[in-house]
Structure 1
Amino acid sequence: MISRRDFTLGGTATALAVSVPAIAQSTLAQPALAQPALAQPMTKVKLGVPNAATDVGYFVAHARGYFKDEGLDVEIIPFDSAARMIAPMASGDLQVAAGGPSAGLYNGISRGLELRMVSDKSRNVVNRSSIRVVVRKELVDSGRVKTIADLKGLKYANGAPGSSATSGFYMLFKKAGIRMDEVQEVSMSFPQQVAALESGAIDFAMPPDPAGTLAVKRGAAVVLMQGWELIPSHQVAVTLYGGKFINEQNEQGKRFMRAFLRGVRDHNDALDDTGNFTGPKGDAIVDILVKYGPFRDPQIYRSFVLAYCDPDGKLDMKSLQTDIDIFQELKMLERPVDLAKVVDMSFVDWAVQQLGPYKKAV
């Protein structure tokens, strides 16, 4: 059985030896897989995730046995930000990680750590954003905050300094005419941000869904702005491979990517044109999110628009460069970053060649 770990709402990591039952695979025709995969010994792969709704591609691949089809025994381990996955990735304790490109990631690679971005994981595009600026409801009700300019002097939460959300905050403050030293930043996990908005420990944040939606649903916060209004196409999260996985388990890296893209395509098939789950396919994906994700209420996953993930795994290179430019301006980078040395699309190229270009199932 595959084990996983989870977070409580308060953000305290609790190790749980929970058995995750396999969910029956879809009866839809699936691409033919290389038969020798099942005959080989299962390879253990540890996957770090932020435990957000946009981890759905990994969850589906796990639940429907796509990783097992590839001879991979995948353990899903939540972290509060991608920045905190860098050390275990570099040591080989994690083979794969999912999260936002961070200044820490770029600095690690510049220092010689063998980490590479290998595919899309989550992208905010116009009308498809998993991230919104949410403000403590009391501040809005009292009239203290009416526009983004009123955020001056308040306290906000980021997953970690220099995380991908930093670019969003940078653009927010630039748009509002606020200097970075005119607001106070604190670091905490996304579930902790919900609790902090409820308690008044922070004033605003940009937690990815479902955390943002939960804060609104509980009456702790209101939406001030959509993430795509700040950056129309923002590569907020990627799939990362560690150097040992790339160099010593290249075949397993290819197979992981093929399984992941099958999961991504399944959840794309389950979404309507507005990014909402629809029909029996949508019901099935929501069931998986309830089992694997941070919240057990299916209505939470139906209450927001799921961010875009490219079913062919492509990255938004322009967005990644924008992040690098912002980190450079904020003096968070130790040296210039060459994206060509950070990105490795060979795994996606192989997987798409095997699966064929995505065509939405009807």
Structure 2
Amino acid sequence: MTTFTRRGALGLAGGAAVLPLLGAPALANTKTTVGALRFTSHAASFVAFERGYFTDEGLDVDFKFFEAAQPMAVAIASRDADFGVTSITGGLISLAEKGAAKVIGGALSEEKGIDGQMILASNAAYEAGLTAPDQLDGKTFAVTQPGSSFHYMGAKIAAAEGASLSFKPLQKVGAIIGAMKSGQVDAWTIVPHIGKALTGGGAVQQIGMVADYLPGYQVTTLFTSAQNAENDRAKTEAFLRAFSRGADDFNAALVDKTAGDDAAEEMVKLVHKYVYTDRPYDKAKPSIVNGAMRINKNAALNMASVEDQLGWFKSEGLVKDSITTETLVDSSYAEAI
């Protein structure tokens, strides 16, 4: 785990820099742990941290980094982390059914006109004829775990194409990348900051876009423990406000590109502190820019997409039929779109 504290980062900036904004809630240096992946899609949290938006809300934030969605959901439910940004998975739904977790908002979304998640083929599969999604029948498809968002996307694409896929769980994104490069699996879907880097380097081939099959797909959600959602409303609302400010900055700089070139450059440098940290800036920049997808304004949640995902998990027997969207989502926080 890598830990950063906003209070420490601002400690030398002078007392005035860390004063809460007028009208902020009565929280003061409330310790808060935010779960994240080192993906451009998690940038709103990084922006809120670096620009003091969490501090403005009285939250003293640490990040806890994960390599897959499922472990993050477990950490939130066990209260090892307070808030997370991740996809809807069978594990998250089951934790919600047990009264341990709640979705409180939406984050990353597929949107027409903005490059989104890519459908990829290994070079070996591509050379053998897998050049489009309608040729997926009989192929192996990489997922982190059964019941992951990768499983959902692959299954929905296969159903649309009348294809039968063999799903191969590989636990971590890094392991999937290795398996794609070596031809151990045939296909995969992934966010553009990773997908474009792989295709640009010739490691894999792009054969389609997820948005063509799942328009408006709510890729990631904001979630917390049921305990936080029910009993710590001030803290939960403070997190959502700060996150939303970070999302607004990110969208303006890299998605809508209305903030200007200097703001875009500053944003990429900020994100680079967390994403592709093992690469020099000039090598990381194209992948970060290419990975800029819409983060929902005001953490709004696409309920139609959530309902579709929940319906698929039920149809596959991955979660109980009795689970409803109310089981999963606390609608008192989530603005529906």
TM tier, shorter chain? 0.7 to 0.9
Corresponding residue for 1:225? 208
Q: What TM-score, normalized by structure 1, do the two folds share?
A: 0.80
What is the letter of the counterpart of residue 237 of structure 1? T
Corresponding residue for 2:147? 162
CA RMSD of aligned residues (A): 2.7
Q: Is the 8 A contact 1:53 1:209 kept in 2?
A: no
For 2:235 and 2:159, the matched residues in 1 are separated by 43
For 1:278 and 1:224, the matched residues in 2 are separated by 33
For 2:27 and 2:108, the matched residues in 1 are separated by 32
**SS of residue in 1 equivalent to 2:47:** helix
For 1:309 and 1:169, the matched residues in 2 are separated by 22
Corresponding residue for 1:179? 164
Q: Is the 8 A contact 2:102 2:329 kept in 1?
A: yes
Q: Does 1:149 align with 2:111?
A: no
Q: Is the 8 A contact 2:153 2:210 kept in 1?
A: yes
Corresponding residue for 2:44? 57
Corresponding residue for 1:201? 184
**Cα offsets for 1:67-112 (capped at 9, x unmatched):** 11222121112223222223222221111111011122222222x2
Compared CA separation, residues 151 and 276, structure 1 to 2 (3 A):
farther
Question: What are the ranges of 5 or more consecutive residues in structure 1 without an aligned counterpart?
Answer: 6-15, 26-31, 350-362
Q: 1:85-164 maps to which residues of 2 (within 5 A)?
A: 85-110=72-97, 112-140=98-126, 142-164=127-149
For 1:56 and 1:333, the matched residues in 2 are separated by 30
1:262 to 245, 248, 270: 245
For 1:40 and 1:328, the matched residues in 2 are separated by 40
Q: Does 1:283 align with 2:265?
A: yes
Q: Is the 8 A contact 2:35 2:84 kept in 1?
A: yes
Q: Aligned residue pairs: how many?
A: 322
For 1:36 and 1:228, the matched residues in 2 are separated by 38
Provide the identity percentage. Answer: 20
Compared CA separation, residues 169 and 278, structure 1 to 2 (3 A):
farther
Tell me how far 1:40 sits from its aligned partner: 5.2
Compared CA separation, residues 65 and 346, structure 1 to 2 (3 A):
same
Report the more deviating stretch, 260-269 or 148-157: 148-157
Q: Is the 8 A contact 1:47 1:74 kept in 2?
A: yes
Tell me how far 1:47 sits from its aligned partner: 1.2
Q: 1:71-90 maps to which residues of 2 (within 5 A)?
A: 71-90=58-77
For 1:186 and 1:160, the matched residues in 2 are separated by 5
Tell me how far 1:188 sits from its aligned partner: 2.9
Q: Is the 8 A contact 2:32 2:62 kept in 1?
A: yes
What is the letter of the counterpart of residue 323 of structure 1? Q
Tell me how far 1:228 sits from its aligned partner: 0.2
**Cα offsets for 1:136-173 (capped at 9, x unmatched):** 12332x24323323333332211221122322111211
**SS of residue in 2 equivalent to 1:299:** helix
Compared CA separation, residues 278 and 54, structure 1 to 2 (3 A):
farther
Compared CA separation, residues 23 and 346, structure 1 to 2 (3 A):
farther
Q: What TM-score, normalized by structure 2, do the two folds share?
A: 0.86
Question: What are the ranges of 5 or more consecutive residues in structure 2 without an aligned counterpart?
Answer: 14-19
Compared CA separation, residues 214 and 291, structure 1 to 2 (3 A):
same
- Which has the larger share of helix? 2
Corresponding residue for 2:196? 213
Could you list the runs of 4 or more consecutive aligned residues of structure 1 that deviate by over 4 angstroms after TM superposition? Answer: 16-25, 275-278
For 1:272 and 1:221, the matched residues in 2 are separated by 25
